[in-house]
Amino acid sequence: MLRGFYTAASGMLTQQRKTEMLSNNMANINTPGFKGDQASLRAFPEMLLQRMDAGENGLPRTVQKTIGSLNTGVYMQEAIPLFRQGDIKQTDLKTDVALLDINLPADPETGVAGSVFFTVENVDGEPRYTRNGNFTLDGAGYVTTASGMYILDQEGNRIQLTNDQFSINEEGYLTGSAGETARLGIGYSEDSMSMVKEGDGLFRSEAGALADAYNTNGVQFKLQQGFLEQSNVDASQTMTEMMTAYRAFEANQKVLQAYDTSLQKTVNEVGRIG
């Protein structure tokens, strides 16, 4: 019976974690470039239960009888970002840039298409990656993200301009009003599953620095100034999944309550001397 407690409790914890993940997706439904997470659920190994009958003089017999298998619960292994292209919204702001996927080769092992990202510099001076093209200029004229992280060019350098009157063509070349030129750094990950979320719309590659997307065979994309990629979270689907997770949590809760009632009766009633 106690095994049942653990099985039901693991189901409740799993659905709670899934609900928290879905709630985070909903909270970022208006965040440019946000990639929603998907839950990867796994079952604990099943146990094969057997019993050993009492033999002569109370000694156990050597022959065991199979009772059946017992599932020992479920857990949420990880939350995996979904890198599907979000909708593109026109803003007409020169500091907004959208990445449009055209042809991104799929990983031969997983079958998942690769992804392209803007390259930024985090507070520790390390390269990070984002799909959020909502850029701005800081007081010194450097192009940064909304949270203040520097946008890097193709050579890995910061981009400094005189003002925000600049243009970016589809190939990523940036031209400032004073003649400044640069090419936005775009990284390509052939294994999207290896990208790790770090908050503020940033991703880190477990394999190190990403390849230069401009010089990777088979990779096709373009940039569009005055547009923003929206979150790829589907509100109706997410709400449906949240309700399903809630119902599953509720079902496991009722199972746990049933076990608790049975155990209470066992302790208080079974074996009572009349």
Residue 50 placed within a domain = yes
**CB of 228 closer than 8 Å to CB of 32:** yes
Domain check: are 20 and 55 in the same one? Answer: yes
Same domain for 212 and 102? yes
Residue 61 lies in a domain: yes
Do both 94 and 179 map to the same domain? yes
Q: What is the pLDDT of residue 270?
A: 64
Do 134 and 156 share a domain, yes or no?
A: yes
In a domain, 274, yes or no: no
Residue 273: inside a domain: no
For residue 64, the model assigns a pLDDT of 67
- Co-location of 74 and 201 in the same domain: no
Same domain flag for 134 and 261: no
Q: Which residue positions in the chain have pLDDT lower than 70?
A: 1-2, 47-65, 68-71, 270-274
- Cα separation, 105 vs 112, whole angstroms: 8
Query: Would you state the structure tokens that stand for residue 46, as one six-digit string?
Result: 């099943």
Q: What angle do CA 172, 173, 178 make, to 5 degrees?
A: 145
Query: Rounded to whole angstroms, how far apart are CA atoms 104 and 99?
Result: 12
* 108 in the same domain as 143: yes
Is 170 found in the same domain as 115?
yes
- Domain extent at residue 256: 2-80+234-268
pLDDT at residue 212, rounded to an integer: 95
CB-CB neighbours of 101 under 10 Å: 18
- Alpha-carbon distance of 193 to 253, in angstroms, equals 33
Count how many residues are written for the chain. Answer: 274
* Same domain? 262 vs 160: no
Residue-level pLDDT at 110: 77
Cα atoms in the Cβ-side hemisphere of radius 13 Å centred on 87: 8
Do residues 259 and 222 both lie within one domain?
Answer: no
Q: Phi and psi (nearest 5°) for 242?
A: -65, -40
- The per-residue pLDDT for 60 is 56
Q: Has residue 100 been placed in a domain?
A: yes
Q: Which residues contact 254 (CB under 8 A, 6 or more apart)?
A: none
CA–CA separation, 26 vs 122, rounded Å? 26
46 inside domain? yes
Q: For the chain, how big is the Rg over CA atoms in Å? A: 27
User: Is residue 166 included in any domain, yes or no?
Assistant: yes
Q: Are residues 93 and 222 in the same domain?
A: yes
Domain count for the chain: 2
Domain annotation covers residue 252: yes
Confidence at residue 203, expressed as pLDDT on a 0 to 100 scale: 95
Q: For residues 63 and 199, what is the distance between their CA atoms, to the nearest angstrom?
A: 57
Looking at residue 48, what is its pLDDT? 67
Residues 102 and 188 both lie in one domain: yes
